[in-house]
Amino acid sequence: MKSSTQDKVEGAAKDVAGRVKEVTGKAVGKPRLQADGKAEKVEGQIQKKVGKIEKVIGD
């Protein structure tokens, strides 16, 4: 199982990558890239939350 820190770091990376894709997709007029970016951003945010919860629980 991943450590809480690893989940938070990976989540942050996905969040940033998703934001970049979302902005790039919007700038170049690629709705698919924009949607993929939004999905990746949300996935990263969820993963960061999981890491925070694991830290509180003590996993």
pLDDT digits (tens, 9 = 90+) for 27-47: 999 999 999 999 999 999 999
The number of folded domains in the chain is: 1
Over 90: is that where the pLDDT of 3 sits? no
Contacts (Cβ under 8 Å, ≥6 apart) of 19: 37, 41
2 vs 49, residue with greater confidence:
49
**Distance (Å) of CA 47 to CA 28, 30, 39:** 28, 26, 12
- What does DSSP assign to residue 30? -
């790039």: which residue's tokens?
24
Collapse the DSSP code of 1 into the 3-class scheme (helix H, G, I; strand E, B; otherwise coil) and give the result: coil
Q: Which domain holds residue 15?
A: 4-57
Q: Is 58 helix (H, G, I), strand (E, B) or coil?
A: coil
